[in-house]
Amino acid sequence: MNKIVLITGATSGFGKAIAQKFAAAHYNCIITGRRKEKLLEVANELNQRFGVAILQLVFDVQDKKAVFEAIESLPEEWKAIDVLINNAGLALGRDSFQDASLDDWETMIDTNVKGLMYVSKAVVPLMTARKQGHIINLGSIAGKEAYKNGNMYCATKAAVDMLSKTMRIDLLPFHIKVTAIHPGAADTEFSMVRFKGDAEKAKQTYNGYTPLHAEDIAGIAFYCSELPPHVCINELVVTCTAQANATVFYQV
């Protein structure tokens, strides 16, 4: 029987690469996102390349009702989720505290914190019932260190960091592993979203160095998930070699 992984935000970036990695290892994949057409493309590709079963769930993680309805109406054969990857998330804007948009801040809180909370609360009962499971949360180096104009994005990822730590404690009696992966700069759709479609600004983020690629994080997430039952990687901060911390880069 193939194992089952549920990946939020699988229409691009880390989530898509993670789905590819797990599907290649014969996991059946539940993939989620808001963009239905992109999700369908990913599903078709995974199905054709790897012959695994793919279930697509289209919902906005900010929508509590939609999240719970989607998870609660999973067909019986999809309920034994082995690995949940809370990946859906975003940054919006890079403005000072005094200039940043409240709407952007609320969207980041609703997506990065409340979205992760809804999906986890919906999936955890399926794991506690089986007394097994692994939750992998995508945090960020931004949740570990403050940087200029990072304000609410940093705060939401600090929340993911702390939630991961506390989930690990509370879920201990159920043998559920909790891993937080905190990447540095990675060349996905992240910066296009952050800078609201400004391709030039997005490109500048990665000028003069080789950033992480989505596949790098996918490989690490998969490695964490494949360790023996008695081994759990609690957290990892992962940067490209040209990035020393949240703010120091070697650029040429």
Query: Which residue in 136, 185, 221, 242 binds ligand NDP (CB under 6 A)?
Result: 185
Query: Which residues bind to ligand 8X3, rule: CB under 6 A?
Result: 140-142, 184-185, 246
Q: Give me the amino acid identity at 67.
A: V
Residue 33: contacted member of ligand 8X3, ligand NDP, none (CB under 5 to 8 Å, by partner type): ligand NDP
- Selecting among 27, 118, 153, 206, the annotated active-site residue is 153
Q: Could you give the 3-state DSSP secondary structure of residue 171?
A: coil
Spatial separation of the C-alpha atoms in residues 27 and 4, rounded to whole Å: 5
CA-based torsion, 216, 151, 124, 60: positive or negative: negative
Angle at 182 between CA 178 and CA 183, to 5 degrees: 140
Q: Which of the stretches 45-53, 56-64, 70-78, 229-237 binds ligand NDP when contact is defined by CB under 6 A?
A: 56-64
Spatial separation of the C-alpha atoms in residues 178 and 194, rounded to whole Å: 27
Q: Could you give the 3-state DSSP secondary structure of residue 178?
A: strand
Catalytic, 153? Answer: yes
Site membership for ligand NDP, residue 80 (CB under 6 A)? no
Spatial separation of the C-alpha atoms in residues 16 and 91, rounded to whole Å: 18
Q: Taking a C-beta distance cutoff of 8 angstroms, is the pair 40, 14 a contact? A: no
Residue 189: contacted member of ligand 8X3, ligand NDP, none (CB under 5 to 8 Å, by partner type): ligand NDP
Site membership for ligand NDP, residue 105 (CB under 6 A)? no
Minimum CB–partner distance for residue 182 and ligand NDP (Å): 7
Site membership for ligand NDP, residue 117 (CB under 6 A)? no
Site membership for ligand NDP, residue 239 (CB under 6 A)? no
Site membership for ligand NDP, residue 137 (CB under 6 A)? no
Spatial separation of the C-alpha atoms in residues 47 and 57, rounded to whole Å: 15
Residue 137: contacted member of ligand 8X3, ligand NDP, none (CB under 5 to 8 Å, by partner type): none
Active site amino acids: 153
